[in-house]
Every structure is written in C-alpha cells, then in structure tokens.
C-alpha cells in the first residue's frame, strides 16, 4: 500500500457505499429512500468532488512532524470546512457527505500518518492515532453549547443537549469501535462472495450496534433506536442476504423507512469507513 493510493480508495469507498442496495431509507441505484432531493448521481458527483480534499489531508498527514496529533486534527478540520463548500457546489446545495467529510477525513488522515510514519500499517496503529488526534474532542465541542442561541446549534449539538448523545464525535473520539470491533471484522470474515450482499449485511451489523444520530433526528425520539436494532436482528434471524426471506424483509423495511422519512445516515458513514479499511487491507 502506498500513500498516493489513499485518496483514490477514499473516493471508491464513497461510491461503493451509495451503490449498495437495498439500504433502509438511504439513497441507492434503485431508490432515493427518505431523501427525495438526491439520487445516486448526486452522490457520485459529490464523491468525485472530494478527491482533492483527500489528497490534501493525505499530504498533510505525511508531512506532519509534531508530537501532539490534536494539532493535525485541527488542521484537517479546517480543510474539511473547505471541502464542505466544494461538496455543496457539486451537489447544488444538497448535503450528501458532510458526515463522511468528518469521519472519513479522520480515517484517511490516520491511515496516511501511520503508513508514512511506521514500519508497518496495522489496525491498532490506525485506531490509536485516531484516539490521539481526537483526545478531548467531545468535551471541547460541547463545552459551551448551552450558551449558544438555539438557532445556531447543529443537529449533533441539539441531540447532545436533549438526549446526551455524543453522535459521530463520540464514536470518532473512541476510535470508531463499531467499525474496528464489529463491522470490519465481519466484512473480512464473511464467506459471501457477492460484494453487494457483503456490504448489505455489514450495514446491518452496524445497525445492531450504533446509536444513529441521523435516525434519532428524523424520528425525534430515542425509541427508534431499539426498534431499528430489533429489525436488524430479525433480518439476520431470517438468513440475511443469503435467503429470500431476508431479502424480502429488507426491501419492506426500506419502504417503511422511506414512508416514515427515516434514514440510517450515521450507519452509512460507518459503512463507508468499513469499506475504506477493507480496500486498504485488501
């Protein structure tokens, strides 16, 4: 693996994710799910527009020489804000990958740093670098939000105040445990050869463990988390992607999500990270 390949793999991970189907409430080649303002072409345009961002943060990680990796995170976060503007230009104002710019940006940076600063690239090394980069992130980001005007609060900040959920920030600061402990090992160990089936099942593994902040935002209630987890468990009890029952169940679940305007946006972001690691360690 060479660092110059990292940005390409990041874009590939974004594109592979949107091609997976069916995904409850999410955009795929067959359906726009709970997102009538976007389709698969919107996501492809967005993904391609972000390659310069991944190139920049990869180069930044390669050249970084300071001991405090939190400085590296602060630097890529600024580039992430610029990348958001690029994304919105490519999608005509539609938010396709704002969450992925943050989470995949962190993973790309940590992978590039480890690849260029260590003798061998390991999962543990990447995870430890992420945790060093994001040390104290949630305390820092949520420390003064009670003083902010309500109209200035982000969706993540509102959920922290209302439910105590730390969302993607908390998941990232912990080194993305759902990805490293569950979804990536599952994807690497599956004996399924069909790529779409592999990734559909991997998404549902993520759903079994995540407190998806996007889902909570759309449902405006925490109970949606336990209900969705139950649906994922039923899916696997029915045989998942390898049975007609499992496939039919997921298609019906997709329709339910779309009808209720529910979306597994946070789960999709973790699927992107899982795909990226799978490509890196192929």
Tell me the average pLDDT across 205-232. 94
Residue 145 has pLDDT above 90, yes or no: no
Q: Supply the pLDDT for residue 150.
A: 78
Residue 48 has pLDDT above 90, yes or no: yes
Over its C-alpha atoms, the chain yields an Rg (Å, rounded) of 18
Evaluate whether 80 touches 102 at the Cβ level (below 8 Å). Answer: yes
**Portion of the chain with pLDDT greater than 70, in percent:** 100
Evaluate whether 242 touches 73 at the Cβ level (below 8 Å). Answer: no
3-state helix, strand, coil in the chain (%, to 5): 75, 0, 25
Residue 178 has pLDDT above 90, yes or no: yes
Separation CA 8–CA 175 (nearest Å): 23
Q: What is the pLDDT of residues 131-141, one digit of tens each?
A: 999 999 999 88
Mean pLDDT of the residues in the chain: 95
Tell me the average pLDDT across 25-54. 96
Q: Supply the pLDDT for residue 130.
A: 98
Q: Supply the pLDDT for residue 90.
A: 97
Residue 236 has pLDDT above 80, yes or no: yes
Q: What is the pLDDT of residues 248-261, one digit of tens each?
A: 999 999 999 999 99
Residue 228 has pLDDT above 90, yes or no: yes
Residue 174 has pLDDT above 80, yes or no: yes
**Minimum mean pLDDT among 29-38, 58-67, 76-85: which range?**
29-38
Q: What is the pLDDT of residues 104-122, one digit of tens each?
A: 999 999 999 999 999 999 9
What are the structure tokens assigned to 230, written together? 């139950």
Residue showing tokens 């309500």: 150
Separation CA 13–CA 15 (nearest Å): 5
pTM score, whole prediction: 0.96
Q: How confident is the model at residue 144 (pLDDT cuts 50, 70, 90)?
A: confident
Residue 43 has pLDDT above 90, yes or no: yes
Residue 1 has pLDDT above 80, yes or no: no
Q: Supply the pLDDT for residue 192.
A: 96
Residue 155 has pLDDT above 90, yes or no: no
Q: Supply the pLDDT for residue 51.
A: 98
Residue 153 has pLDDT above 90, yes or no: no
Counting the structural domains of the chain, the total is: 1
Structural domain including 150 reads: 3-280
Interior angle at CA 263, CA 259 and CA 266, nearest 5:
175
Separation CA 69–CA 82 (nearest Å): 21
Tell me the average pLDDT across 67-87. 97
């Amino acid at each position: 693996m060479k660092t110059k390949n990292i940005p390409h793999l990041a874009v590939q991970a974004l594109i592979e994710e949107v091609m997976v189907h069916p995904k409850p409430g999410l955009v795929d080649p067959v359906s726009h799910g709970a997102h009538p303002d976007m389709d698969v072409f919107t996501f492809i345009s967005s993904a391609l527009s972000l390659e310069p961002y991944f190139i920049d943060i990869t180069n930044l990680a390669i050249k970084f020489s300071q001991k405090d990796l939190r400085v590296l995170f602060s630097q890529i976060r600024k580039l992430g804000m610029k990348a958001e503007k690029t994304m919105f230009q490519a999608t005509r104002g539609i938010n396709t990958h704002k969450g992925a710019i943050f989470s995949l940006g962190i993973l790309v940076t940590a992978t590039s740093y480890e690849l260029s600063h260590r003798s061998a690239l390991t999962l543990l090394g990447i995870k430890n670098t992420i945790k060093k980069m994001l040390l104290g992130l949630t305390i820092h980001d949520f420390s003064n939000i009670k003083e902010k005007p309500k109209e200035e609060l982000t969706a993540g900040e509102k959920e922290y105040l209302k439910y105590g959920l730390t969302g993607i920030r908390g998941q990232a600061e912990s080194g993305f445990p759902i990805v490293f402990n569950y979804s990536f090992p599952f994807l690497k160990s599956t004996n399924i050869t069909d790529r779409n089936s592999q990734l559909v099942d991997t998404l549902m593994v993520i759903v079994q463990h995540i407190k998806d902040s996007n889902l909570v935002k759309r449902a405006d209630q925490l109970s949606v988390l336990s209900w969705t987890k139950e649906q994922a468990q039923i899916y696997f009890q029915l045989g998942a992607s390898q049975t007609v029952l499992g496939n039919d169940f997921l298609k019906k679940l997709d329709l339910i999500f779309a009808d209720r305007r529910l979306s597994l946006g946070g789960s999709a972001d973790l699927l992107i990270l899982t795909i990226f690691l799978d490509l890196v360690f192929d």
